[in-house]
Amino acid sequence: MTRTLAIANQKGGVAKTTTTASVGAALADKDVSVLVVDLDPQGSLTFSLGHDPDQLTKSVHDVLIGAEDIADVLLDTEDNVTLLPATIDLAGAEALLLMRPGREYALKRALAEVSQDYDVVIIDCPPSLGVLTLNGLTAADQVVVPLQCETLAHRGVGQLLRTVTEVQQITNPDLEMVGAVATLFDARTTHSRDVLSDVTDRYSIPVLAPPIPRTVRFAEASASGASVMRGRKNKGATAYRELADNLWESWNGAAIKTYELEVV
Ligand code: ADP
Ligand code: MG
């Protein structure tokens, strides 16, 4: 059975793309077959997996509007995950899709043609709650919310959770909210933990284990177009491997491990 996971938060810069690429690469290292989907017109996931969006002639955009078969658009990557790439064309998909009946189901329908080839599909949602994110949430079995542990991290979380509830009511009754992933986490200060406990108190969503620490290697990796998981060891990569194991074991019947905040 294929597991389809959406990584969503309408806030930019919270590490959705980094989480998609890193969890995908970590699972691929365990010989899990992984498809990652770039749903952001900026194409950051596509770029970080070694493909220049400006050089591509076909992308997820053509798939969503029905102009290309998904199988003809998929790309291999050096991280051993398969990529459904995005280009800036996707910025126009929003408007084109809005005119169509069943617009929330375009990605789900396309994925159905290839998902039997993959154990896991991970969808990198764009920083908005528009029709592209609705497509991601409609196609997914589960959703994970990266939360950057800074002041005001909670802003927008309520709105995102309402969108998830609406998707559950309308297009995808089986969608499961797995929880938040704490990103850019700084264990040396109490601030990150205060922000997290504030969010979990307000919205009662679990925080998955482990938190992902802020690591300089991540910024370097996305700048060079190379995945952070490749090459040398660092604490960010180690944390993402643990998170990937946690998710993988939960898909194989274990209870998901959560990060317990110490009560101070
Ligand atoms: P989003 O997809 O939510 O917009 P990104 O994954 O693109 O977020 O991350 C935003 C920026 O933060 C990128 O420059 C990325 O390299 C950086 N980043 C992500 N995770 C970490 C981390 N754990 N440590 C340091 N920088 C990070
Ligand atoms: Mg992104």
3-251 homologous superfamily: P-loop containing nucleotide triphosphate hydrolases (3.40.50.300)
222 CB within 6 A, ligand 1? yes
Residues 217-245 have a mean pLDDT of 79
- Answer whether residue 229 shows pLDDT above 90: no
What pLDDT, on a 0 to 100 scale, did the predictor assign at position 223?
64
- By the 10 Å C-beta count (0-12 exposed, 13-18 middle, 19+ buried), 121 is classed as buried
Average pLDDT score, the chain: 92
- Answer whether residue 112 shows pLDDT above 90: yes
User: Model confidence over 120-150: pLDDT tens digits?
Assistant: 999 999 999 999 999 999 999 999 999 998 8
92 to 21, 41, 95, 101, 244: CA distances (angstroms)? 24, 9, 6, 17, 33
User: Model confidence over 159-196: pLDDT tens digits?
Assistant: 999 999 999 999 999 999 999 999 999 878 888 888 88
Q: Which atom of ligand 1 is nearest to the CA of 228?
A: 16
Ligand nearest to the CA of 222: 1
Ligand nearest to the CA of 126: 2
229 CB within 6 A, ligand 1? no
The backbone torsions φ and ψ at residue 261, rounded to the nearest 5 degrees and listed phi first, read: -75, 130
138 CB within 6 A, ligand 1? no
Confidence of residue 106 (pLDDT cuts 50, 70, 90): very high
- Answer whether residue 261 shows pLDDT above 80: no
What pLDDT, on a 0 to 100 scale, did the predictor assign at position 97?
86
- This model of the complex carries an ipTM of 0.99
What pLDDT, on a 0 to 100 scale, did the predictor assign at position 186?
87
